[in-house]
Amino acid sequence: MASIQLQGKIFIIGEIEAMTGLHIGGSAGELDIGGVDKPVIRNPLTREPYIPGSSLRGKMRSLLDRHLNKPLRRDRPQVRVHECNRLADYKECSVCQVFGIAPSRNMEDTMPTRLIVRDALLTAETRERFNEIDTDMLYTEVKTEVVIDRITSAATPRQNERVPAEATFGPLEMVHSLYTLDTGSEGSVDSEIALFDTVLMGMELIEDDYLGGSGSRGSGKIAFRKLKVIFKSRKHYENPQSVPIATLAEGDGVSALRKADYQSQISAAMQA
């Protein structure tokens, strides 16, 4: 069996700004706190809302599946997902290579999951700003919607909890690992670097879509801010004093990051 070697890690660091109210649902156990029908997810220690890495990562993968026209299968009765079940398909699928596949697939020569997405908490600036204003609940607003019966026109109100627009979450951190088999030829490293654009594409798709629930009714528009892409080579981990961390790109918004030449910059950093 071939051995797997880590060649380095690409970090995306920045912030996420809610351009409209943001609703990422919490558990039903929180219903009694404010009496809303749909509460947001909160840190159980601080009671502050946050963006789970699983929500951000899952939305990226879902949008990429549709954008790249990936075949779907039923994972549960009500859930359709894409996941390659043949090695030949996996090697041609940037989504499964970046986001990983379930161990139950039992395929040899697949790589570990490349993308890690951390939870994003409220920034200190947002926390201070919300402490100065009178929000409906702790750092959130209550948005009332009305369901209209199409026959009788009877109205049934419902309340959704949302993080208000202009809230900022950070630091955002995504980590994309570069792996090669055996000694890792230059060509295989280049193909690993090329997979990184799949991550940036997923982020750009989210900016033009929505995150969380009620997106078709105005919620969930986000923007990535103060972005920076840095690279740590395997040599840096072995000797951090002699091999610096390379800054590959900076910008406000994902489209600026996609213009950078990552191939040449990472190759130069690996040879430093």
Is the per-residue pLDDT at 31 higher than 50?
no
pLDDT, tens only, 89-122? 888 999 999 999 887 666 777 888 999 999 999 9
Structure tokens given for 187: 């060509």
Cα 11 from Cα 202, distance rounded (Å): 15
- More confidently predicted of 151 and 178: 178
Reduce the DSSP state of residue 162 to 3 states and report it. Answer: strand
Q: Let me know how long the chain is.
A: 272
187 pLDDT band, cuts 50/70/90, is low
Cα 31 from Cα 65, distance rounded (Å): 33
Structure tokens given for 75: 């994972």
User: In sequence order, which residues have a C-beta less than 8 Å from that of residue 6 and are 6 or more positions away?
Assistant: 177, 178, 179, 234
- In this prediction, residues 67-74 reach a mean pLDDT of 87
**Which domain covers residue 173, as residue numbers?**
4-271
Residue 81: the pLDDT is 85
Is the per-residue pLDDT at 1 higher than 60?
no
pLDDT, tens only, 206-218? 999 999 988 898 8
Is the per-residue pLDDT at 178 higher than 90?
yes
Buried b (16+ CB within 10 A) or exposed e, 106-142: ebeebbeebbebbbbbbbeebeebbeeeeeebebbeb
Phi, psi of 67 (to 5 degrees): -65, -40
246 pLDDT band, cuts 50/70/90, is very high
Is the per-residue pLDDT at 164 higher than 90?
yes
Residue 94: the pLDDT is 94
Q: Looking at residue 216, what DSSP letter applies?
A: G
Residue 30: the pLDDT is 46
Cα 215 from Cα 199, distance rounded (Å): 22
Closest CA to 176 of 230, 109, 137: 230
Is the per-residue pLDDT at 21 higher than 80?
yes
Reduce the DSSP state of residue 98 to 3 states and report it. Answer: helix
265 pLDDT band, cuts 50/70/90, is very high
59 pLDDT band, cuts 50/70/90, is very high
Tally of domains within the chain: 1
Mean pLDDT for all residues in the chain: 87
Find out whether 62 and 203 touch, Cβ atoms under 8 Å: no
Is the per-residue pLDDT at 203 higher than 50?
yes
- In this prediction, residues 146-161 reach a mean pLDDT of 81
- In this prediction, residues 67-91 reach a mean pLDDT of 84
% the chain with pLDDT above 70: 92
Is the per-residue pLDDT at 201 higher than 70?
yes
